[in-house]
Structure 1
Amino acid sequence: MTHDAVRLDSVTRAYGHVTALDTVSLAFPAGTFTAVMGPSGSGKSTLLQCAAGLDRPTSGSVTVGGTELTGLGERRLTLLRRERVGFVFQAFNLLPSLTAEQNVALPLRLAGRRVPADRVRQALRQVGLADRARHRPAQMSGGQQQRVALARALITRPDVLFGDEPTGALDTRTGREVLGLLRGMVDREGQTVVMVTHDPVAAAHADRVVFLVDGRVSGELTGAGADTIATRMTRLEAVPC
Protein backbone atom coordinates (compact mmCIF):
# COMPACT_ATOMS: atom_id res chain seq x y z
CA MET A 1 0.00 0.00 0.00
CA THR A 2 1.36 3.44 -0.92
CA HIS A 3 2.36 5.61 2.03
CA ASP A 4 2.80 9.37 2.15
CA ALA A 5 6.35 10.66 1.82
CA VAL A 6 5.18 14.06 3.09
CA ARG A 7 1.97 15.10 4.77
CA LEU A 8 0.72 18.54 5.82
CA ASP A 9 -2.21 18.72 8.24
CA SER A 10 -3.96 22.08 8.72
CA VAL A 11 -0.71 23.98 8.18
CA THR A 12 -0.86 27.74 8.66
CA ARG A 13 2.16 30.04 8.29
CA ALA A 14 1.76 33.68 9.21
CA TYR A 15 4.36 36.44 9.07
CA GLY A 16 3.02 39.16 11.33
CA HIS A 17 -0.38 40.12 9.93
CA VAL A 18 0.23 38.34 6.60
CA THR A 19 -0.97 34.73 6.26
CA ALA A 20 1.13 32.97 3.62
CA LEU A 21 -0.50 29.55 4.17
CA ASP A 22 -4.01 29.14 5.53
CA THR A 23 -4.91 25.73 7.05
CA VAL A 24 -3.43 23.71 4.17
CA SER A 25 -3.84 19.93 4.27
CA LEU A 26 -2.02 17.98 1.55
CA ALA A 27 -0.47 14.55 1.12
CA PHE A 28 2.34 13.67 -1.28
CA PRO A 29 2.32 9.87 -1.79
CA ALA A 30 5.66 8.12 -2.07
CA GLY A 31 6.84 7.53 -5.62
CA THR A 32 4.77 10.32 -7.17
CA PHE A 33 5.57 13.60 -8.93
CA THR A 34 3.53 16.64 -7.83
CA ALA A 35 3.72 20.15 -9.28
CA VAL A 36 2.56 23.12 -7.21
CA MET A 37 1.28 26.17 -9.08
CA GLY A 38 -0.53 29.39 -8.33
CA PRO A 39 -0.48 33.13 -8.92
CA SER A 40 2.36 35.23 -7.52
CA GLY A 41 2.08 35.48 -3.74
CA SER A 42 -0.14 32.40 -3.44
CA GLY A 43 2.16 30.67 -0.93
CA LYS A 44 3.95 28.17 -3.19
CA SER A 45 7.47 28.71 -1.85
CA THR A 46 6.22 28.88 1.75
CA LEU A 47 4.49 25.54 1.23
CA LEU A 48 7.72 24.02 -0.04
CA GLN A 49 9.78 25.46 2.82
CA CYS A 50 7.36 24.20 5.47
CA ALA A 51 7.08 20.76 3.83
CA ALA A 52 10.90 20.48 3.66
CA GLY A 53 11.45 21.54 7.26
CA LEU A 54 13.18 24.78 6.21
CA ASP A 55 10.47 26.86 7.88
CA ARG A 56 8.23 26.08 10.83
CA PRO A 57 4.44 26.43 10.53
CA THR A 58 2.64 28.81 12.86
CA SER A 59 0.17 25.98 13.48
CA GLY A 60 -0.61 22.54 12.11
CA SER A 61 1.79 19.65 11.53
CA VAL A 62 4.20 18.38 8.87
CA THR A 63 5.28 14.74 8.62
CA VAL A 64 8.24 13.61 6.48
CA GLY A 65 9.00 9.92 6.07
CA GLY A 66 6.80 9.07 9.05
CA THR A 67 8.47 11.62 11.35
CA GLU A 68 6.41 14.53 12.62
CA LEU A 69 8.50 17.70 12.49
CA THR A 70 6.67 19.97 14.89
CA GLY A 71 8.30 18.76 18.09
CA LEU A 72 11.82 18.39 16.74
CA GLY A 73 14.60 20.63 18.02
CA GLU A 74 16.87 22.43 15.58
CA ARG A 75 19.59 19.78 15.70
CA ARG A 76 17.24 16.86 14.98
CA LEU A 77 15.46 18.88 12.31
CA THR A 78 18.79 19.65 10.62
CA LEU A 79 19.73 15.96 10.67
CA LEU A 80 16.37 14.99 9.20
CA ARG A 81 16.72 17.51 6.38
CA ARG A 82 20.21 16.23 5.57
CA GLU A 83 19.17 12.59 5.48
CA ARG A 84 15.59 12.58 4.20
CA VAL A 85 15.13 15.73 2.13
CA GLY A 86 16.72 16.82 -1.15
CA PHE A 87 16.33 20.37 -2.45
CA VAL A 88 17.01 21.83 -5.90
CA PHE A 89 16.72 25.57 -6.47
CA GLN A 90 16.42 27.78 -9.55
CA ALA A 91 19.93 29.05 -8.73
CA PHE A 92 22.20 26.04 -8.86
CA ASN A 93 24.02 26.98 -5.61
CA LEU A 94 27.18 25.05 -6.49
CA LEU A 95 30.49 25.99 -4.87
CA PRO A 96 32.62 27.37 -7.73
CA SER A 97 35.93 26.15 -6.31
CA LEU A 98 34.78 22.52 -6.10
CA THR A 99 34.55 19.97 -8.91
CA ALA A 100 31.25 18.32 -9.81
CA GLU A 101 32.06 15.23 -7.73
CA GLN A 102 33.13 17.38 -4.76
CA ASN A 103 29.89 19.40 -4.95
CA VAL A 104 27.86 16.18 -5.08
CA ALA A 105 29.72 14.73 -2.08
CA LEU A 106 29.23 17.88 0.02
CA PRO A 107 26.00 16.86 1.86
CA LEU A 108 27.65 13.64 3.05
CA ARG A 109 30.78 15.49 4.16
CA LEU A 110 28.74 18.10 6.05
CA ALA A 111 26.92 15.27 7.82
CA GLY A 112 30.27 13.76 8.83
CA ARG A 113 29.59 10.63 6.82
CA ARG A 114 31.94 8.58 4.70
CA VAL A 115 31.81 9.49 1.02
CA PRO A 116 32.08 6.35 -1.14
CA ALA A 117 33.59 7.36 -4.49
CA ASP A 118 31.44 4.85 -6.36
CA ARG A 119 28.28 6.36 -4.87
CA VAL A 120 29.27 9.84 -6.04
CA ARG A 121 30.05 8.51 -9.52
CA GLN A 122 26.73 6.64 -9.55
CA ALA A 123 24.86 9.86 -8.69
CA LEU A 124 26.62 11.66 -11.57
CA ARG A 125 25.87 8.76 -13.94
CA GLN A 126 22.24 8.98 -12.87
CA VAL A 127 22.08 12.52 -14.26
CA GLY A 128 24.22 11.78 -17.32
CA LEU A 129 27.39 13.51 -16.13
CA ALA A 130 29.83 10.68 -15.45
CA ASP A 131 32.31 12.35 -17.82
CA ARG A 132 32.13 15.73 -16.03
CA ALA A 133 33.13 14.54 -12.53
CA ARG A 134 36.32 16.65 -12.39
CA HIS A 135 34.90 19.76 -14.06
CA ARG A 136 34.18 22.89 -12.02
CA PRO A 137 30.89 24.82 -12.43
CA ALA A 138 32.49 27.47 -14.67
CA GLN A 139 33.45 24.70 -17.10
CA MET A 140 29.85 23.49 -17.44
CA SER A 141 26.66 24.75 -19.06
CA GLY A 142 23.67 25.85 -16.98
CA GLY A 143 21.92 22.57 -17.68
CA GLN A 144 24.96 20.58 -16.59
CA GLN A 145 25.22 22.64 -13.40
CA GLN A 146 21.58 21.93 -12.57
CA ARG A 147 22.22 18.23 -13.16
CA VAL A 148 25.08 18.40 -10.65
CA ALA A 149 22.72 20.13 -8.20
CA LEU A 150 20.23 17.33 -8.79
CA ALA A 151 22.88 14.65 -8.15
CA ARG A 152 23.87 16.49 -4.96
CA ALA A 153 20.25 16.50 -3.79
CA LEU A 154 19.95 12.76 -4.45
CA ILE A 155 23.25 11.62 -2.89
CA THR A 156 21.64 11.05 0.51
CA ARG A 157 18.83 9.02 -1.12
CA PRO A 158 16.14 11.29 0.33
CA ASP A 159 12.53 10.38 0.98
CA VAL A 160 11.48 13.38 -1.07
CA LEU A 161 13.10 15.76 -3.56
CA PHE A 162 11.79 19.33 -3.53
CA GLY A 163 12.34 21.63 -6.49
CA ASP A 164 11.74 25.38 -6.36
CA GLU A 165 11.51 26.44 -10.03
CA PRO A 166 14.34 23.99 -10.86
CA THR A 167 14.15 24.75 -14.60
CA GLY A 168 13.51 28.49 -14.25
CA ALA A 169 17.07 29.49 -15.22
CA LEU A 170 17.36 27.04 -18.12
CA ASP A 171 16.49 27.31 -21.80
CA THR A 172 13.51 25.32 -23.04
CA ARG A 173 15.38 22.32 -24.40
CA THR A 174 17.68 21.98 -21.37
CA GLY A 175 14.76 22.48 -19.00
CA ARG A 176 12.88 19.62 -20.62
CA GLU A 177 15.94 17.38 -20.29
CA VAL A 178 16.06 18.07 -16.54
CA LEU A 179 12.31 17.46 -16.25
CA GLY A 180 12.76 14.19 -18.13
CA LEU A 181 15.38 13.19 -15.56
CA LEU A 182 12.99 13.94 -12.71
CA ARG A 183 10.19 12.02 -14.41
CA GLY A 184 12.50 9.06 -14.97
CA MET A 185 13.58 9.01 -11.31
CA VAL A 186 9.95 8.79 -10.26
CA ASP A 187 9.06 6.08 -12.78
CA ARG A 188 12.17 3.90 -12.51
CA GLU A 189 13.33 4.43 -8.94
CA GLY A 190 10.21 5.42 -7.02
CA GLN A 191 11.61 8.85 -6.07
CA THR A 192 9.06 11.30 -4.66
CA VAL A 193 9.25 14.75 -6.27
CA VAL A 194 7.42 17.95 -5.28
CA MET A 195 8.11 20.89 -7.58
CA VAL A 196 6.98 24.52 -7.58
CA THR A 197 6.73 25.91 -11.10
CA HIS A 198 5.02 28.68 -13.04
CA ASP A 199 5.39 26.79 -16.34
CA PRO A 200 2.44 24.63 -17.51
CA VAL A 201 4.78 22.60 -19.76
CA ALA A 202 6.95 21.75 -16.76
CA ALA A 203 3.89 20.95 -14.64
CA ALA A 204 2.62 18.57 -17.33
CA HIS A 205 5.52 16.22 -16.47
CA ALA A 206 3.96 15.65 -13.04
CA ASP A 207 1.34 13.09 -12.05
CA ARG A 208 -0.81 15.82 -10.55
CA VAL A 209 -0.84 19.59 -10.23
CA VAL A 210 -1.95 21.26 -6.99
CA PHE A 211 -3.11 24.88 -7.26
CA LEU A 212 -2.77 27.47 -4.49
CA VAL A 213 -4.56 30.79 -4.27
CA ASP A 214 -4.10 33.20 -1.35
CA GLY A 215 -2.43 30.51 0.74
CA ARG A 216 -5.18 27.94 0.28
CA VAL A 217 -5.52 24.86 -1.91
CA SER A 218 -7.75 25.71 -4.88
CA GLY A 219 -8.12 22.32 -6.51
CA GLU A 220 -5.87 19.98 -8.46
CA LEU A 221 -5.54 18.23 -11.81
CA THR A 222 -4.34 14.68 -12.43
CA GLY A 223 -2.59 13.60 -15.63
CA ALA A 224 -3.35 16.93 -17.33
CA GLY A 225 -1.61 18.31 -20.41
CA ALA A 226 0.05 21.72 -20.63
CA ASP A 227 -2.94 23.37 -22.34
CA THR A 228 -5.39 22.25 -19.65
CA ILE A 229 -3.02 23.39 -16.91
CA ALA A 230 -2.48 26.76 -18.61
CA THR A 231 -6.25 27.28 -18.91
CA ARG A 232 -6.73 26.58 -15.19
CA MET A 233 -3.92 28.98 -14.30
CA THR A 234 -5.38 31.71 -16.50
CA ARG A 235 -8.71 31.37 -14.69
CA LEU A 236 -7.04 31.52 -11.27
CA GLU A 237 -5.03 34.61 -12.17
CA ALA A 238 -8.16 36.33 -13.47
CA VAL A 239 -9.99 35.94 -10.15
CA PRO A 240 -10.04 39.35 -8.39
CA CYS A 241 -8.39 39.53 -4.98
Structure 2
Amino acid sequence: MHGRGANAVTALHEVSHDFPEGTFTAVMGPSGSGKSTLMHCAAGLEPPTSGGVMIGGRDIAGWSERRLTRLRRTRIGFVFQEFNLVPALNVADNVALPLRLAGRRPDSARLADLLSRVGLADRRRHRPAELSGGQQQRVAVARALVAQPEVVFADEPTGALDRASGRDVLALLRDAVDGLGTTVVMVTHDPQAAAWADEVLVLADGRLADRLTGKSVTPDTIAARLAAVGS
Protein backbone atom coordinates (compact mmCIF):
# COMPACT_ATOMS: atom_id res chain seq x y z
CA MET A 1 0.00 0.00 0.00
CA HIS A 2 1.28 3.47 -0.91
CA GLY A 3 0.22 6.65 0.90
CA ARG A 4 -1.94 7.08 3.97
CA GLY A 5 -5.55 7.71 4.89
CA ALA A 6 -7.77 8.92 2.06
CA ASN A 7 -4.76 9.03 -0.26
CA ALA A 8 -3.79 5.39 0.33
CA VAL A 9 -3.49 3.25 -2.80
CA THR A 10 -3.28 -0.54 -2.71
CA ALA A 11 -0.53 -1.37 -5.20
CA LEU A 12 -0.84 -5.15 -4.72
CA HIS A 13 -3.94 -6.98 -3.52
CA GLU A 14 -3.89 -10.64 -2.48
CA VAL A 15 -1.07 -11.55 -4.85
CA SER A 16 0.43 -14.90 -3.86
CA HIS A 17 2.88 -16.73 -6.09
CA ASP A 18 5.88 -19.06 -5.91
CA PHE A 19 8.93 -18.58 -8.11
CA PRO A 20 10.45 -22.09 -8.18
CA GLU A 21 14.21 -22.51 -8.14
CA GLY A 22 15.80 -22.59 -11.58
CA THR A 23 12.86 -21.08 -13.47
CA PHE A 24 12.37 -17.96 -15.58
CA THR A 25 9.23 -15.89 -14.87
CA ALA A 26 8.14 -12.77 -16.76
CA VAL A 27 5.84 -10.27 -15.05
CA MET A 28 3.67 -8.09 -17.28
CA GLY A 29 0.74 -5.72 -17.04
CA PRO A 30 -0.49 -2.24 -17.96
CA SER A 31 1.12 0.83 -16.43
CA GLY A 32 0.17 1.02 -12.76
CA SER A 33 -0.73 -2.67 -12.57
CA GLY A 34 1.72 -3.34 -9.73
CA LYS A 35 4.39 -5.29 -11.60
CA SER A 36 7.30 -3.15 -10.42
CA THR A 37 5.94 -3.10 -6.87
CA LEU A 38 5.75 -6.90 -6.95
CA MET A 39 9.38 -7.12 -7.98
CA HIS A 40 10.49 -4.55 -5.39
CA CYS A 41 8.69 -6.40 -2.59
CA ALA A 42 10.02 -9.78 -3.71
CA ALA A 43 13.58 -8.41 -3.83
CA GLY A 44 13.42 -6.77 -0.42
CA LEU A 45 13.64 -3.27 -1.89
CA GLU A 46 10.20 -2.29 -0.59
CA PRO A 47 8.50 -3.76 2.50
CA PRO A 48 4.92 -5.05 2.11
CA THR A 49 2.35 -3.45 4.41
CA SER A 50 0.85 -6.90 4.99
CA GLY A 51 1.66 -10.47 4.06
CA GLY A 52 5.12 -11.94 3.73
CA VAL A 53 8.01 -12.46 1.33
CA MET A 54 9.79 -15.81 1.55
CA ILE A 55 13.32 -16.30 0.23
CA GLY A 56 15.03 -19.59 0.97
CA GLY A 57 12.32 -20.50 3.47
CA ARG A 58 12.73 -17.29 5.48
CA ASP A 59 10.24 -14.42 5.65
CA ILE A 60 12.18 -11.22 4.97
CA ALA A 61 9.23 -8.84 5.37
CA GLY A 62 10.24 -7.68 8.84
CA TRP A 63 13.99 -7.57 8.37
CA SER A 64 16.08 -4.49 9.12
CA GLU A 65 17.57 -2.54 6.22
CA ARG A 66 21.06 -3.69 7.20
CA ARG A 67 20.01 -7.32 7.07
CA LEU A 68 18.21 -6.80 3.76
CA THR A 69 21.29 -5.12 2.31
CA ARG A 70 23.39 -8.12 3.27
CA LEU A 71 20.80 -10.43 1.67
CA ARG A 72 20.81 -8.46 -1.57
CA ARG A 73 24.60 -8.46 -1.73
CA THR A 74 24.94 -12.21 -1.23
CA ARG A 75 21.82 -13.94 -2.54
CA ILE A 76 20.12 -11.61 -5.03
CA GLY A 77 21.25 -10.13 -8.35
CA PHE A 78 19.75 -7.15 -10.17
CA VAL A 79 19.58 -6.03 -13.80
CA PHE A 80 17.89 -2.71 -14.60
CA GLN A 81 16.92 -0.88 -17.78
CA GLU A 82 19.68 1.64 -17.07
CA PHE A 83 22.97 -0.20 -16.94
CA ASN A 84 24.21 1.53 -13.74
CA LEU A 85 27.86 0.77 -14.44
CA VAL A 86 30.62 2.75 -12.71
CA PRO A 87 32.22 4.88 -15.47
CA ALA A 88 35.68 4.90 -13.88
CA LEU A 89 35.87 1.10 -13.60
CA ASN A 90 36.67 -1.28 -16.42
CA VAL A 91 34.47 -4.23 -17.36
CA ALA A 92 36.16 -6.74 -15.05
CA ASP A 93 36.05 -4.39 -12.07
CA ASN A 94 32.40 -3.50 -12.69
CA VAL A 95 31.50 -7.19 -12.74
CA ALA A 96 33.49 -7.86 -9.55
CA LEU A 97 32.05 -4.85 -7.68
CA PRO A 98 29.28 -6.74 -5.78
CA LEU A 99 31.88 -9.12 -4.36
CA ARG A 100 34.12 -6.28 -3.21
CA LEU A 101 31.17 -4.51 -1.57
CA ALA A 102 30.38 -7.73 0.28
CA GLY A 103 33.98 -8.02 1.45
CA ARG A 104 34.72 -11.03 -0.75
CA ARG A 105 37.73 -11.52 -2.98
CA PRO A 106 36.77 -12.06 -6.65
CA ASP A 107 37.62 -15.49 -8.02
CA SER A 108 39.62 -14.91 -11.19
CA ALA A 109 38.44 -18.15 -12.80
CA ARG A 110 34.80 -17.36 -12.02
CA LEU A 111 35.23 -13.85 -13.41
CA ALA A 112 36.84 -15.15 -16.59
CA ASP A 113 34.06 -17.69 -17.06
CA LEU A 114 31.36 -15.04 -16.67
CA LEU A 115 33.03 -12.67 -19.11
CA SER A 116 33.32 -15.52 -21.58
CA ARG A 117 29.64 -16.42 -21.09
CA VAL A 118 28.55 -12.87 -21.89
CA GLY A 119 30.95 -12.60 -24.84
CA LEU A 120 33.17 -9.90 -23.35
CA ALA A 121 36.38 -11.77 -22.55
CA ASP A 122 38.24 -9.49 -24.96
CA ARG A 123 36.70 -6.33 -23.45
CA ARG A 124 37.62 -6.91 -19.81
CA ARG A 125 39.87 -3.81 -19.67
CA HIS A 126 37.46 -1.51 -21.50
CA ARG A 127 35.48 1.15 -19.66
CA PRO A 128 31.69 1.54 -20.11
CA ALA A 129 32.06 4.54 -22.45
CA GLU A 130 33.97 2.31 -24.86
CA LEU A 131 31.11 -0.21 -25.10
CA SER A 132 27.81 -0.29 -26.97
CA GLY A 133 24.53 -0.29 -25.04
CA GLY A 134 24.11 -4.00 -25.60
CA GLN A 135 27.62 -4.70 -24.35
CA GLN A 136 27.03 -2.57 -21.26
CA GLN A 137 23.89 -4.52 -20.43
CA ARG A 138 25.82 -7.77 -20.84
CA VAL A 139 28.28 -6.43 -18.26
CA ALA A 140 25.30 -5.73 -15.99
CA VAL A 141 24.08 -9.33 -16.40
CA ALA A 142 27.54 -10.69 -15.54
CA ARG A 143 27.64 -8.39 -12.50
CA ALA A 144 24.25 -9.72 -11.37
CA LEU A 145 25.52 -13.30 -11.60
CA VAL A 146 29.02 -12.91 -10.13
CA ALA A 147 28.01 -13.65 -6.53
CA GLN A 148 26.14 -16.80 -7.66
CA PRO A 149 22.78 -15.47 -6.44
CA GLU A 150 19.76 -17.66 -5.89
CA VAL A 151 17.56 -15.23 -7.81
CA VAL A 152 18.08 -12.42 -10.32
CA PHE A 153 15.47 -9.67 -10.63
CA ALA A 154 15.50 -7.91 -14.00
CA ASP A 155 13.44 -4.72 -14.48
CA GLU A 156 12.90 -4.01 -18.20
CA PRO A 157 16.42 -5.28 -19.04
CA THR A 158 15.89 -4.87 -22.81
CA GLY A 159 13.96 -1.59 -22.67
CA ALA A 160 16.88 0.58 -23.79
CA LEU A 161 18.28 -1.85 -26.36
CA ASP A 162 17.72 -2.57 -30.04
CA ARG A 163 16.09 -5.89 -30.91
CA ALA A 164 19.33 -7.78 -31.62
CA SER A 165 21.04 -6.59 -28.43
CA GLY A 166 17.89 -7.37 -26.48
CA ARG A 167 17.92 -10.95 -27.77
CA ASP A 168 21.53 -11.32 -26.64
CA VAL A 169 20.63 -10.21 -23.10
CA LEU A 170 17.57 -12.47 -22.95
CA ALA A 171 19.68 -15.41 -24.12
CA LEU A 172 22.09 -14.73 -21.24
CA LEU A 173 19.24 -14.70 -18.71
CA ARG A 174 17.88 -17.91 -20.22
CA ASP A 175 21.34 -19.49 -19.99
CA ALA A 176 21.60 -18.45 -16.33
CA VAL A 177 18.44 -20.45 -15.67
CA ASP A 178 19.26 -23.48 -17.81
CA GLY A 179 23.01 -23.62 -17.25
CA LEU A 180 23.48 -22.25 -13.74
CA GLY A 181 20.16 -23.07 -12.08
CA THR A 182 19.49 -19.42 -11.26
CA THR A 183 15.92 -18.22 -10.70
CA VAL A 184 15.09 -15.20 -12.89
CA VAL A 185 12.14 -12.85 -12.39
CA MET A 186 11.82 -10.25 -15.16
CA VAL A 187 9.45 -7.30 -15.46
CA THR A 188 8.81 -6.41 -19.10
CA HIS A 189 6.24 -4.77 -21.37
CA ASP A 190 7.44 -6.69 -24.45
CA PRO A 191 5.67 -9.97 -25.40
CA GLN A 192 8.71 -10.98 -27.46
CA ALA A 193 10.92 -10.70 -24.37
CA ALA A 194 8.38 -12.43 -22.14
CA ALA A 195 8.28 -15.42 -24.50
CA TRP A 196 11.79 -16.38 -23.33
CA ALA A 197 10.33 -17.23 -19.91
CA ASP A 198 8.88 -20.48 -18.59
CA GLU A 199 5.92 -18.65 -17.11
CA VAL A 200 4.24 -15.28 -17.62
CA LEU A 201 2.25 -13.49 -14.92
CA VAL A 202 -0.12 -10.73 -15.97
CA LEU A 203 -1.13 -8.16 -13.36
CA ALA A 204 -4.00 -5.69 -13.52
CA ASP A 205 -5.05 -3.21 -10.83
CA GLY A 206 -2.71 -4.83 -8.35
CA ARG A 207 -4.14 -8.32 -8.80
CA LEU A 208 -2.89 -11.43 -10.56
CA ALA A 209 -5.16 -11.41 -13.62
CA ASP A 210 -3.68 -14.17 -15.78
CA ARG A 211 -0.92 -16.77 -15.88
CA LEU A 212 0.59 -18.48 -18.90
CA THR A 213 2.79 -21.57 -18.91
CA GLY A 214 4.00 -24.23 -21.32
CA LYS A 215 2.99 -23.94 -24.96
CA SER A 216 0.89 -20.84 -24.29
CA VAL A 217 4.07 -18.82 -23.68
CA THR A 218 4.34 -17.39 -27.20
CA PRO A 219 4.53 -13.73 -28.26
CA ASP A 220 1.11 -13.79 -29.95
CA THR A 221 -0.67 -15.47 -27.04
CA ILE A 222 1.01 -13.20 -24.51
CA ALA A 223 0.06 -10.09 -26.51
CA ALA A 224 -3.55 -11.26 -26.79
CA ARG A 225 -3.85 -11.97 -23.05
CA LEU A 226 -2.24 -8.65 -22.21
CA ALA A 227 -4.66 -6.82 -24.50
CA ALA A 228 -7.61 -8.61 -22.93
CA VAL A 229 -6.53 -7.59 -19.44
CA GLY A 230 -6.00 -3.99 -20.50
CA SER A 231 -9.33 -3.65 -22.30
TM-score range, shorter chain: over 0.9
| Pick aligned residue for 2:129 from 112, 133, 138 | 138
SS at match of 1:198: coil
SS at match of 2:18: strand
Q: Deviations over 1:145-194 (max 9, x none)?
A: 00000000101100101100000000011101111111122122211100
SS at match of 1:235: helix
Paired with 1:31 and 1:15, the residues of 2 have a C-alpha distance of: 35
By how many angstroms is 1:66 displaced?
2.1
**What is the identity, as a one-letter code, of the residue corresponding to 1:209?**
V
Paired with 1:87 and 1:15, the residues of 2 have a C-alpha distance of: 26
Paired with 2:111 and 2:175, the residues of 1 have a C-alpha distance of: 19
1:198-209 paired onto structure 2 within 5 Å: 198-209=189-200
Aligned length: 226
Q: Deviations over 1:2-33 (max 9, x none)?
A: xxxxxxxxxxx333311111121010000100
Contact 1:39 / 1:213 at 8 angstroms: preserved in 2?
yes
**What is the identity, as a one-letter code, of the residue corresponding to 2:220?**
D
| Pick aligned residue for 2:85 from 86, 94, 98 | 94
What fraction of aligned residue pairs are identical, expressed as a percent? 63
Contact 1:14 / 1:21 at 8 angstroms: preserved in 2?
no
Of stretches 148-157 and 16-25 in structure 1, the one that deviates more from structure 2 is 16-25
TM-score (norm 1): 0.91
1:28-177 paired onto structure 2 within 5 Å: 28-177=19-168
Indicate yes or no: 2:20 matched with 1:20.
Answer: no
**What is the identity, as a one-letter code, of the residue corresponding to 1:138?**
A
Of stretches 227-236 and 14-23 in structure 1, the one that deviates more from structure 2 is 14-23
TM-score (norm 2): 0.95
Contact 2:141 / 2:172 at 8 angstroms: preserved in 1?
no
By how many angstroms is 1:120 displaced?
1.8
| Pick aligned residue for 2:220 from 218, 227, 234 | 227
SS at match of 1:45: helix
By how many angstroms is 1:133 displaced?
0.5
**What is the identity, as a one-letter code, of the residue corresponding to 1:100?**
V
Q: Which residue of 2 aligns with 1:8?
A: none
> Which ranges in structure 1 are unaligned for 5 or more consecutive residues?
1-12
Contact 1:101 / 1:134 at 8 angstroms: preserved in 2?
yes
Contact 2:200 / 2:213 at 8 angstroms: preserved in 1?
yes
Of stretches 144-153 and 180-189 in structure 1, the one that deviates more from structure 2 is 180-189
Whose strand fraction is larger, Structure 1's or Structure 2's?
Answer: 1
By how many angstroms is 1:237 displaced?
1.2
> Which ranges in structure 2 are unaligned for 5 or more consecutive residues?
none
Calculate the aligned-residue CA RMSD, in Å. Answer: 1.0
Q: Deviations over 1:80-133 (max 9, x none)?
A: 111110010000000111100110111111111112222222221121111111
Q: Which residue of 1 aligns with 2:178?
A: 187
By how many angstroms is 1:76 displaced?
1.3
Contact 1:65 / 1:84 at 8 angstroms: preserved in 2?
no
